[in-house]
Structure 1
Amino acid sequence: MAGLQTVALSVVAGRGARAEDEARSGWSHLLEHMVFKGAGGRSAREVVEVIEAEGGNINAATGYERTSFQVRALAGGLDLGSSVLSDLVQRPTMDAGDLNREKQVVGQEIAEAADAPDDLVFELAQTAAFDGQPLGRPILGTPQSIGTTTPQTLGAWRSHLYSPKTLVVSAAGAVDEDDLLRLAERDFGHTADDGVAPPLLGPAAFTGGQRAVAKPLEQANLVLLLPAVSVADEAYFALRLLAEILGGGMASRLFQEARENRGLAYAIDAYSETYADVGVLGVFAGCAAKDAVELAKVAAGEIAGMLKPAPEAELARAKAQLKGAMFMGREGALARAEQAAGQVLLFGRTLEPAEIAAQVDAVTPADLVRLTERILAPKKAAVAILGPKASLKAAPAFEQALFG
């Protein structure tokens, strides 16, 4: 990326919490924490200090389908960053004392999420959408499931999760391709392959259901999910545009109807979440408990309204907004490195911006209608309501308004 004085390096494993069975729930996230406790002969403090001493920073994230380790550094920091990330992924210390302490830390993270309504309501919705499946379990796991780990069992899980068969090394910014290839060969080219295949991702199925939890809050929190398409489906960009039209910004249908016309909510938006073989269309809103049922009905009405062709001007605005968001995101070095790694894991190659733009522009109003029909055909929804008791009736009201 010409003109940048910094570089971003991502080492991404194409596995995450979705690879876990129920007994190992949360192990992938705990493992991501544990590798920072010491690796390659460096202590936990030294792992961080050696990067920060050169003006950089280091971080990591665990998702359902991948785990990412990231270094941002000044130009010339790629060599050190690659060395440190290689140690984290391949040579963590796994000390028993550190593990016991980190279990306590993650236990507090789990408790913090339970105390945050806008975290908990999404967790409830995810559980309802994919009940009894890895996608329906929280990425953090439970105190019970992470409590069973030992350095040995977590080390064995690391060899599965961060298998060389799943790793992508990606860099963007002030980086030379030859340098990256040389460092990848030096730090990852001789990774031991013990022949153990990484965990397979079993097929996911949207089950649907309701999770209504009474809690003495000032607001009712609503998450409404419907089954959608996967990231690899030909209707992927239609899904992104459908969510944009419904609730992608201040000109969106949900914002205009629920907030501007009726004053039901301060914040309301729609979004899509896609995985390798399944996806969801979601709506999130916060409102007064007395308005929850009406808001749920409004959301159902706007979704059903997508069964009619969207006006060309509205679709054109959604396309412009979607391309703007995607291409603005690419202007950050770390975002571009992460995006490229994700594309390689999913498609085996990177996608050029012109190719993405062409696919967005090719979506027609008829495509959106067909996708809406697909989304509504199963007559399934996952609805999570968290708030005062008076708001809980919004869950059945949404399904009744949408499916009759």
Structure 2
Amino acid sequence: MTTSATLHTLENGVRVVCDPMPGLETVALSVVAGRGAAYEDPARSGWSHLLEHMVFKGAGGRSARDIVEVIEAQGGSINAATGYERTSFQVRALKGGLDLGMSVLSDLVLRPTLDEADLTREKQVVAQEIAEAADAPDDYVFDLVQAAAWGDHPLARPILGTVDSVNAATVEGLSDWRGRLYAADRLIVSATGAVEVDEVLDLARRQFGALPSAKGAADFAAAPFIGGRKSQARKLEQAHLVFMLPAVSARQDDYFALRIFAEALGGGMSSRLFQEAREKRGLAYNIDAYADTYADCGALGVYAGCSAGDAAETAKVCAEQIVALADKIEDAELARAKAQLKAHMFMAREQPLSRAEQAAGQALMFDRLYAPAELAQAVDAVTVADLTRLAGLILGPRKTASAILGAKGALKAGDVFERALG
């Protein structure tokens, strides 16, 4: 079993992924810059996300309305997203829409207008987005735990930035930041669906081949897991709890062991946390575990939403289940977690846009593409001994990060979690 995807590099360093999916009548295109909020200094916090907004206000001679209408008139859709390590611009289109999609996305990335009046308005929009995030406790609690886990590192700051840092942005400053953020050395053009290699490469050369081959923003330093507590008392119907422990990065050998550990711990309805906290004790409606990985660091996380009166007990259960899983995993449990992980990865590959993003991520992280068989083999190769070793890495440093948002009575849950780890 081999991947149909191929990875190519243009003369200026821009990398191009072409991944035909026979039988499809649609195209997915992602232009991904391998930089995001983690590359910002405090003064530029939120600028990557603000820039992503701004390029849609006008680019390549098209107005904001033109950008959307020209894509939607052909049955397509356009979107973008900013993360800590990457910024993605995406187009879905009918077969034959690759040329237009590539033209529009190259304009957004390389030729945005960046108008002063638009910037003034967009700062107000982003300020509302920041306020909205603060008003959504099940979102805001993750900003709090990032701050608790990563100390002074950019990973500790919210991707949206602050109102003050966003308001400090200027057209000139954003233009300079765009050149650093979307530089050729970390730019990936990834096309899937009803595409052909020659067409993708020809269009990529035409639209991105003239970009200077200069390097962009310097790689950020690896983030040390600091740990700590970030809690806020609010009058809420639920308490929102997030606990994190240091783990491995996406590039380390135990990456798949971490994914499997998180899956067995809280990845589905058969997971330990779901069965113990929800099914047996009725403590939480929502509870899950996740692996949060970056190029050079990572963490194991647990989220739970529960009543304030149950927060301490929920925290205790979370810690106890982590310790119990670290001590022993049953063969059937390990097999089930592997099957679930492979299903998540391969189901995503059946969706063209997810497939394009997945390939772009592999190119950015490893400068190569992985066949499904390779991924399956890596998952299947994880042993009980691997999970035991990983557990030592997670629990050994005796560091935890927690964020609690809810009634005052829930705020002790972070201390309870730490004590229950033993």
Q: How does the TM-score come out when normalised to structure 2?
A: 0.94
Match of 2:14 in 1: none
Aligned partner of residue 249 in structure 1, secondary structure: coil
| Contact 2:185 2:215 (C-alpha < 8 Å) held by counterparts | no
| Contact 2:403 2:414 (C-alpha < 8 Å) held by counterparts | yes
Q: Tell me how far apart the structure 2 counterparts of residues 192 and 229 of structure 1 sit (CA, whole Å).
A: 35
Match of 2:93 in 1: 73
Match of 2:31 in 1: 11
The residue identity in structure 2 corresponding to 1:91 is R
Per-residue deviation, 1:261 = 1.0
Match of 2:74 in 1: 54
| Contact 1:306 1:368 (C-alpha < 8 Å) held by counterparts | no
Alignment of 1:137-176 (within 5 A): 137-176=157-196
Match of 2:41 in 1: 21
Match of 1:279 in 2: 298
Match of 1:212 in 2: 231
| Contact 1:214 1:388 (C-alpha < 8 Å) held by counterparts | yes
1:313 correspondence with 2:332: yes
Alignment of 1:4-403 (within 5 A): 4-193=24-213, 195=214, 197-403=216-422
Q: Tell me how far apart the structure 2 counterparts of residues 262 and 316 of structure 1 sit (CA, whole Å).
A: 26
The residue identity in structure 1 corresponding to 2:380 is D
The alignment yields a C-alpha RMSD, in angstroms, of 0.8
Per-residue deviation, 1:375 = 0.4
1:85-144 CA deviation, whole Å, 9 max, x = no partner?
000000000000000000000000000000000011111001101111100000000010
| Contact 1:217 1:387 (C-alpha < 8 Å) held by counterparts | yes
Q: Tell me how far apart the structure 1 counterparts of residues 229 and 31 of structure 2 sit (CA, whole Å).
A: 38
Per-residue deviation, 1:192 = 2.8
The residue identity in structure 2 corresponding to 1:76 is G
Per-residue deviation, 1:197 = 3.6
The residue identity in structure 1 corresponding to 2:358 is Q
Q: Tell me how far apart the structure 2 counterparts of residues 173 and 217 of structure 1 sit (CA, whole Å).
A: 45
Per-residue deviation, 1:191 = 1.1
Q: Tell me how far apart the structure 1 counterparts of residues 343 and 212 of structure 2 sit (CA, whole Å).
A: 42
Aligned partner of residue 249 in structure 2, secondary structure: coil
**Structure 2 unmatched ranges of 5 or more:** 1-20
Q: Tell me how far apart the structure 1 counterparts of residues 404 and 175 of structure 2 sit (CA, whole Å).
A: 39
Per-residue deviation, 1:200 = 2.1
Aligned partner of residue 102 in structure 1, secondary structure: helix
1:319-356 CA deviation, whole Å, 9 max, x = no partner?
11110111001100000000000000000011000000
1:178-199 CA deviation, whole Å, 9 max, x = no partner?
1000000000011134x45423
The residue identity in structure 2 corresponding to 1:126 is Q
Aligned partner of residue 341 in structure 1, secondary structure: helix
| Contact 1:26 1:145 (C-alpha < 8 Å) held by counterparts | yes
The residue identity in structure 1 corresponding to 2:173 is T
Q: How does the TM-score come out when normalised to structure 1?
A: 0.98
Q: Tell me how far apart the structure 1 counterparts of residues 204 and 387 of structure 2 sit (CA, whole Å).
A: 43
The residue identity in structure 2 corresponding to 1:173 is G
| Contact 1:165 1:198 (C-alpha < 8 Å) held by counterparts | no
1:287-332 CA deviation, whole Å, 9 max, x = no partner?
1111110110010000011222311111001111110111001100
1:201-225 CA deviation, whole Å, 9 max, x = no partner?
1221111000111000011100000
Q: Tell me how far apart the structure 2 counterparts of residues 198 and 124 of structure 1 sit (CA, whole Å).
A: 26
| Contact 2:257 2:382 (C-alpha < 8 Å) held by counterparts | yes
| Contact 1:306 1:369 (C-alpha < 8 Å) held by counterparts | no
Q: Tell me how far apart the structure 2 counterparts of residues 300 and 209 of structure 1 sit (CA, whole Å).
A: 16
1:362-385 CA deviation, whole Å, 9 max, x = no partner?
001111111011101110011000
| Contact 1:210 1:395 (C-alpha < 8 Å) held by counterparts | yes
| Contact 2:229 2:402 (C-alpha < 8 Å) held by counterparts | yes
Q: Tell me how far apart the structure 2 counterparts of residues 23 and 198 of structure 1 sit (CA, whole Å).
A: 15
| Contact 1:8 1:172 (C-alpha < 8 Å) held by counterparts | yes
Aligned partner of residue 56 in structure 2, secondary structure: helix
| Contact 1:13 1:68 (C-alpha < 8 Å) held by counterparts | yes
**Structure 1 unmatched ranges of 5 or more:** none
Q: Tell me how far apart the structure 2 counterparts of residues 198 and 141 of structure 1 sit (CA, whole Å).
A: 18
